[in-house]
Every structure is written in structure tokens, then in C-alpha cells.
Amino acid sequence: MITKTHENPVLRVAPAAPAEAAAYFRASLAFHADVSDVAAALATGGDPGFVVVDSRSAQSWDQGHVPGAIHLPTALVPEQAERLLDKSVPVVTYCWGPGCNGATRAALALAELGYRVKEMLGGFEYWAREGLAYETWQGREQRAADSLTAPVEGECGC
């Protein structure tokens, strides 16, 4: 039993009470989706119930993007969202990857305009690293899955 939590860097701040933790994690799931779940929903071939928005630059979009995504750079959300998106359809935003907050800023701008929105964790980086097909200006491409990040046998089991 650990009694001196101040010496343990993990427990320097005590974990939240279970009900408080449950509320936090429930709220997190309301704001985030992961690459695997987005890919699985899109792979059904039917209407996934949401639209995917790539919030990166035109150059990044041309390098590769999620198939079927709508290109709407973060800076253009205020002037173009209503022309490109239906407010009755939830939006999932993404940018480059975990080191970029462009999808967060796009999600904020869309939420402020009245859209229901989630952010795709991992962004395009993890889409490609998981070996999922993507589109470029030259057509559909796919890289080998990165064994350190891709789910084992296509599914992480969580």
C-alpha cells in the first residue's frame, strides 16, 4: 500500500473520485472519436451519420486525406461552413496529428456556428500510420501499417 503519494509522480495529485472520473471520461467521449472508430463507421458503405472535415491546408489535403472528407481549412470555417455543411449532420474534424490543434480550433469554430462536432484523435497521421487507405490528387493510396501504432490484426480490441 502506498502511503506517501507526494513521492510518487503518478499519484502526486490523487486520482479523482470514481463519479467525477466517470463524468470526465463520459464527456471526453462526447468530444472525441478515434481513427479506428471513424474508419469502421465509414467502411460500412452506408451513411455513417456524420461528415468528416479535414481542416488542414490545401497542400496537406493534396498529400492525402480521409476518403470522402470535406476540405475546410480552419481559417475558412466562418465563411464557408454553411455552404459546405448541413447543421443537422454531426461533424468529425481532423488535422495533421496529435501535435497539431487545428482540428480542435476547427471544432470550436464549428460548435460556435451551431454544429454538433467531435475531433478525430490522431488525425491524418494516425489514419495513415494505421494503414488505412487515403485519397490524394493522384488517386487512392495506402501505406503499410506501422506496427507500433496500428491495431493488431486491424482491431485494437478496446
CATH of the domain at 68: 3.40.250.10
Say how far apart CA 112 and CA 13 lie, in whole Å: 33
- pLDDT of 148: 84
The total domain count for the chain is 1
User: For residue 90, is it within any domain?
Assistant: yes
What does the pLDDT average to over 142-156? 75
Give the CA count within 13 Å in the CB-facing half-sphere of 12. Answer: 3
Say if 100 falls within a structural domain: yes
- Domain with 84, as residue range(s), is 34-152
Q: Is residue 109 part of a domain?
A: yes
pLDDT tens figures, 73-125: 999 999 999 999 999 999 999 999 999 999 999 999 999 999 999 999 999 99
pTM (2 d.p.)? 0.88
What is the pLDDT at residue 149? 79
pLDDT given at position 130: 92
**Quick check: is 8 in a domain?**
no
Residue 103 lies in a domain: yes
CA distances from 142 to 19, 130, 133, 138 (A): 42, 10, 4, 12
Asked if the structure places residue 20 within a domain, the reply is: no
Residue 116 lies in a domain: yes
Bridge partners for 18 per DSSP = none
| pLDDT of 154 over the 80 cut | no
